[in-house]
Amino acid sequence: MATIFSRIVAGEIPCHKVAEDEEFFAFLDINPVAKGHTLVIPKQETDYIFDLEDPLLGRMMAFAKRVARAQEAVIPCKRVGVAVMGLEVPHAHIHLIPITKESDMYFGGEKMTITQDELAEVAALIRKAYK
Ligand code: AMP
């Protein structure tokens, strides 16, 4: 059975898409810890990120870097923080989070309150800045 993230890539479940190429897909996290919180996934279904073959993992990080550059361009932040957990969704993904302080990357607390319209607006900004 396809993972929820594969179903997003297939267009079966809606998302706020940020970027895509042949191998990877980026979209906003539905429960962001900070504005612009984005997930980068390989289209290939693999649960654990460190089970990906080295070349694919390298290309995934290069793709994530391009997404991060776009986030930096449009979301006020000091830098883009990177996290990998995968405890909830068994499809490898990198969290890219625009941050100004350490606590912006705290996953254990209250999530941001953000509307679908606001998510759509943020996604459009990042998408436009993505090169
Ligand atoms: P983890 O697997 O622990 O890295 O957490 C999974 C992340 O995926 C969480 O931050 C969720 O908010 C996010 N998430 C789960 N379902 C969706 C979805 N349908 N669209 C966007 N983000 C999602």
Residues with beta carbon inside 6 Å of ligand 1? 4, 13, 15, 29-31, 39, 85-89
Average pLDDT over residues 48-66: 98
**How many angstroms separate the alpha carbon of residue 6 from the centre of ligand 1?**
12
Residues annotated as catalytic are: 93
Tell the residue nearest (CA) to atom 18 of ligand 1.
30
Q: For residue 9, is pLDDT > 90?
A: yes
Q: What is the mean pLDDT of the chain?
A: 97
pLDDT of 121 > 90? The answer is yes
Domain ranges of the chain: 4-129
For a pLDDT cut of 90, what percent of the chain falls above it? Answer: 95
Q: Tell me how far apart the alpha carbons of residues 96 and 116 are, in angstroms, rounded to a whole number.
A: 19
Q: Residue 1 above 90 pLDDT?
A: no
Nearest in space to 24 (alpha carbons), one of 59, 71, 73, 65: 59
For a pLDDT cut of 70, what percent of the chain falls above it? 100
Q: What is the DSSP letter of 11?
A: T
**Longest alpha-carbon distance in the chain:** 40
The domain made up of 4-129 has a fold known as HIT family, subunit A (3.30.428)
